Amino acid sequence: MLWKGKKTNFFFGRLSSLRHVTLRHTFTRMQISVLVFSFAAFFSLTMIRSSTALSTALITGSTDGIGLHTARKLLESGHKVIVHGRNQQRVDAAVSDLSKYGEVSSYTADLSSVSGCLSLANAIKRDHSTLEILINNAGVFSPTFTTTPSGLETTFAVNVLAPFIITRELLPLLLATSSSRIINVSSISQNDGPSTIKVSTVLSSIFQDPSTYDKYSSYGISKRLIAMYSQTLSRRLSSMGVPHPTVMSCDPGTVNTKMLSAGWGNCGIDISLANNEFMLATKEIKGDDHGKYWYGGRVHGDCVREEEGEELWRLLEQLSTRE
């Protein structure tokens, strides 16, 4: 089963009807004959933009940093972009900046709560009939132990649980097109923290005890878990014969964002060079790369055994009803 609950019949009906749909890649360059007159270049650019203009991408946490940069690049490539942030003023500023590049819509929601995640997903389902690209980019690095109103540690709630809920709720839109993809932003920091973790005790041992809280371990483990979740989602879809959406996780690069500065110092590349998320959103992906973790523009291998992924899935299902 994918997800239990009141939407089960809808999901299974959709999945059953799409079992034999072949994955098509819609981000190909349009074939344009070479024109021997002065406006050839302009004509070619216009046709390329129109060929991709029907693709819509949601990027969570896209009011600044890598999310904003990725949104701009997708707009420049002809995609429509849905901007998300948790602060209305920053959302408005991002939309004002991005609108010059293409068609932008926006939503404001706090992803640290289950209700915030559901509010975002419900609003998007209300306003959109399809979604080609979902980039779960929003993330936090918390220097101190903090909890959400429901009692979950904030790093875990935003970096792991929120992508699970948003993806679950938006899956019908992603299933409506045969070229959709889900990109969950992990990190090279997933190597931080214990070398092995037991999912059944992950909340109590890493994300629940203020006395043992470590900001680097908590962030790193959250990024390891989102890669585990991506692989498990991919495996579940594939086991049902559903070739899409393509699911991937990735390291976005060591980039001089506010998060990197706060946690590690400015030791990375400029944001303008942070193209890993854009690359995965637009490049052709081989079928056997479904579910894989990408680092430095290349597949970096599997992250989890199947039984560990299923245990994580059950935990996230349980927590997604908590408020």
Tens digits of residue pLDDT in 113-153? 999 999 999 999 999 999 999 999 999 999 999 999 888 99
Strands, sheet with 104-108, edge to edge from the N-terminal-most edge strand = 104-108, 80-85, 56-59, 133-136, 181-185, 246-250, 293-295, 298-299
SS3 68: helix
8 A C-beta contact, residue 257 and residue 65: yes
Q: Measured on CA atoms in the order 302, 307, 308, 313, is the torsion positive or negative?
A: positive
Mean pLDDT rounded to a whole number for the chain: 82
In whole angstroms, what is the distance from residue 199 CA to residue 44 CA? 52
Predicted model pTM: 0.82
Burial of 265 (0-12, 13-18, 19+ CB in 10 A): exposed
Q: What is the CA radius of gyration of the chain?
A: 19
In the prediction, which pLDDT does 19 show?
35
Please give the DSSP secondary-structure letter assigned to residue 127: H
Report d(CA 188, CA 108) in Å as an integer: 28
Residues 63-91 have pLDDT tens digits of 999 999 999 999 999 999 999 999 999 99
Beta strands in 137-251 (DSSP E): 181-185, 246-250
pLDDT tier, 267 (very low <50, low <70, confident <90, very high otherwise)? confident
Quote the pLDDT of residue 29. Answer: 31
Q: What is the DSSP letter of 194?
A: -
Report which of 295, 248, 256, 301 is spatially closest to residue 276, judged by C-alpha positions: 295
Burial of 96 (0-12, 13-18, 19+ CB in 10 A): exposed
Domains, the chain, ranges and CATH? 108-319 (3.40.50.720)
